[in-house]
């Protein structure tokens, strides 16, 4: 024993030393001395260099989990929209041609006066129908990305536009025959867009 040593923690009743690691007396009288001489037993977290090293390291971000949910097959959707535009253009051209032929036959009889229910020719309606289908496809895609219920919003927007396009010619046309013919053409353009674009969009959505 070292009675004059103030750092001697060994017990006087049989030896032993206070172990700082276990916070208890050790049976080994030299446990404290060995622990004090062991360079690896010191607390490394108290080293300023160690703290600066890990403080300088940027925090590692956890990897972002893969996105799950509905995904749009762009190629399939574009193909469906183009096919809808072709169908709308053909339907518009065909209905406009039928209306023009019927009006010419009625005009030739001379009993009901001169009929001109279609203000434009059938090719103009075909081009307008195809362009409207393309714009409707773009609208559905934007709604799919930005709204929680794209099909319902699309149905409301297109449905209201179709109703306005049918009612306005009936109210604003000077001749009732022209108003009826234009309203029929607008309805022919709007119905394929309203139903086919939604169907093509639903078919192009893939769930992962």
Query: Do both 51 and 100 map to the same domain?
Result: no
Asked if residue 178 is part of any domain, the answer here is yes
Q: Which of 34-38, 94-98, 143-147 has the lowest mean pLDDT?
A: 34-38
Query: Do both 51 and 125 map to the same domain?
Result: no
20 pLDDT more than 80: no
Asked if residue 7 is part of any domain, the answer here is yes
Find tokens 């029929």 and name the residue: 184
Cβ distance 100 to 115 under 8 Å? no
Query: Do both 86 and 169 map to the same domain?
Result: yes
67-88 residue pLDDT tens: 555 688 888 899 999 999 999 9
Query: Do both 27 and 106 map to the same domain?
Result: no
Cβ distance 98 to 60 under 8 Å? no
Q: Domain count of the chain?
A: 2
Query: Do both 43 and 126 map to the same domain?
Result: no
Asked if residue 65 is part of any domain, the answer here is no
Where among 42, 60, 78 does a domain terminate? 60
Asked if residue 119 is part of any domain, the answer here is yes
Specify the higher pLDDT residue, 72 or 141.
141
pLDDT given at position 154: 95
Residues spanned by the domain of 33: 1-60
DSSP codes, the chain: --TT-TT----TTT--EEETTTTEEESSTTHHHHHHH-TTSS-GGG-HHHHHHHHHSPPPPPPPPPP-SEEE-HHHHHHHHHHHHHHHHHHHHHHHHHHHHHHHHHHHH-SS------SS-HHHHHHHHHHHHHHHHHHHHHHHHH-S-HHHHHHHHHHHHHHHHHHHHHHH-SSHHHHHHHHHHHHHHHHHHHHHHHHHHHHHEEE-
- Token output for 66: 């893969």
Query: Do both 50 and 91 map to the same domain?
Result: no
Query: Do both 5 and 81 map to the same domain?
Result: no
147 pLDDT more than 70: yes
Where among 40, 60, 80 does a domain terminate? 60
Query: Do both 34 and 84 map to the same domain?
Result: no
Query: Do both 194 and 91 map to the same domain?
Result: yes
* Alpha carbon separation from 93 to 72, 76, 90, 96, 127 (Å, rounded): 31, 26, 5, 5, 9
100 pLDDT more than 80: yes
Query: Do both 202 and 103 map to the same domain?
Result: yes
At 190, the pLDDT band (50, 70, 90 cuts) reads: very high
134 pLDDT more than 50: yes
Cβ distance 153 to 71 under 8 Å? no
Query: Do both 56 and 75 map to the same domain?
Result: no
Read off the pTM.
0.62
């Amino acid at each position: 024993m070292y009675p004059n040593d103030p750092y001697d923690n060994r017990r006087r009743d049989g030896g032993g030393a206070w172990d700082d690691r276990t916070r208890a007396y050790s049976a080994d009288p030299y446990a404290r001395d060995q622990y004090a001489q062991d360079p690896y037993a010191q607390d490394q977290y108290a080293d300023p260099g160690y703290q600066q090293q890990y403080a300088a390291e940027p925090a590692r971000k956890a990897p972002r989990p893969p996105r799950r949910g509905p995904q749009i097959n762009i190629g399939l959707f574009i193909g469906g929209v183009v096919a809808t535009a072709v169908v709308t253009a053909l339907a518009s051209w065909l209905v406009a041609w039928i209306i023009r032929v019927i009006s010419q036959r009625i005009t030739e009889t001379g009993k009901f006066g001169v009929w001109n229910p279609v203000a434009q020719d059938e090719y103009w309606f075909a081009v307008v129908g195809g362009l409207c289908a393309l714009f409707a496809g773009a609208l559905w895609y934007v709604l799919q990305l930005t709204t929680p219920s794209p099909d319902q919003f699309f149905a409301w927007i297109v449905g209201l536009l179709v109703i306005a396009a049918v009612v306005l010619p009936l109210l604003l046309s000077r001749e009732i025959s022209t108003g009826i013919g234009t309203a029929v053409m607008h309805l022919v353009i709007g119905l394929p867009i309203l139903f086919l674009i939604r169907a093509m969009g639903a078919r192009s959505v893939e769930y992962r």
